[in-house]
Structure 1
């Protein structure tokens, strides 16, 4: 099987032509991408459920808005924590991005300062280290080659992530904000009307 160039840590930004209502105007952070498939979480789908109502002790660590986010259509009954440890530099080319001897217990680095938080860990062990935390119900998943086909078909823009994307205080504006910061014609896509027939 041919090796797949990893998109782990990048953002998938839904193009205006993406018809799947699960991903309309979505911004997905890829947490894992290899030749076996891809897994990510939708960063801009807040729910009305407070984190503290379902995960005792984690509510105080969740950034504003302190609600659970719908991470995607798969396994909606499971919770996934994504956190940022501030001050962490992007690993240099060729260096491992998944582990660091400085990572606190219960944190597994995914890309740069972004990592997965083990929600079985007592929250107080991570409180001092975490700069931000988001809790997601469910995730988005793709089988081998599926995401690559969707990108080739024009369903997604693939762009660099920034640590602040995980904890955007106004997630409803994240789709436009991510597009607007691109140094290409993608910045113009941010001006698309919510109803494509108005363009």
Structure 2
């Protein structure tokens, strides 16, 4: 098998032609991508469930909207915490820029995974934004590469604000709109092209 170039930390943005209802107009943050497969969370699928209803201890730290997000179709009964830890000045008191605060593991840049079994107080002073996801999106070896070759996804750079977008329903258009190429035009693609 050929070496897979890691897309960890990048965004997968569903193309308008992606018809799978799990991923239609979705924006997926890749948390892990290598030759053994890929794992990510859908950033723009808020549920009506408040974080306090399932993880009361973390509710105060959850960003707006303070709801659980459906991270993908796999393991919907498990929770993942993704948080942004601001720049080096926020690392005083225990962490370093390289490893971040205790209970947080860097994925890419300022974005990392939160140990939801850790006491929230341990991270409260360090976190800039926290999102809780039920489930995740997963691909087996080579599966994501096949979908990319078929044109199902655009791959773009992530920004820390993507994780905590206060209007997640608009994230698909917002991410496309900020691209500096023809992808910016895709943001104007109608929800139902047959009405065009």
TM-score of the superposed pair, with normalisation by structure 1: 0.93
Q: Is the 8 A contact 1:70 1:76 kept in 2?
A: yes
Closer, same or farther in 2 for the Cα pair 1:8/1:88, shift >3 Å? farther
Gaps of at least 5 residues in structure 1 are 90-98
The equivalent of 1:92 in structure 2 is none
Give the superposition deviation at 1:157: 0.2
Of 129, 135, 140, the match for 1:132: 129
SS in 1 for 2:105: strand
Q: Give the ranges of 4+ consecutive aligned residues of structure 1 lying more than 3 Å apart after TM superposition.
A: 99-102
Of 177, 195, 198, the match for 2:195: 198
Q: Is the 8 A contact 2:99 2:105 kept in 1?
A: no
The equivalent of 2:69 in structure 1 is 69
The equivalent of 2:153 in structure 1 is 156
The equivalent of 1:180 in structure 2 is 177
Structure richer in helix, relative to its length? 2
- The answer as to 2:58 corresponding to 1:58 is yes
Count of aligned residue pairs for this structure pair: 190
The aligned runs of 1:1-199 (5 Å cut-off) are 1-87=1-87, 101-199=98-196
Gaps of at least 5 residues in structure 2 are 90-95
Whole-Å separation in 1 of the counterparts to 2:32 and 2:158: 14
TM-score of the superposed pair, with normalisation by structure 2: 0.94
Aligned-residue RMSD, C-alpha: 1.4
Closer, same or farther in 2 for the Cα pair 1:101/1:10, shift >3 Å? closer
Q: Is the 8 A contact 1:88 1:113 kept in 2?
A: no
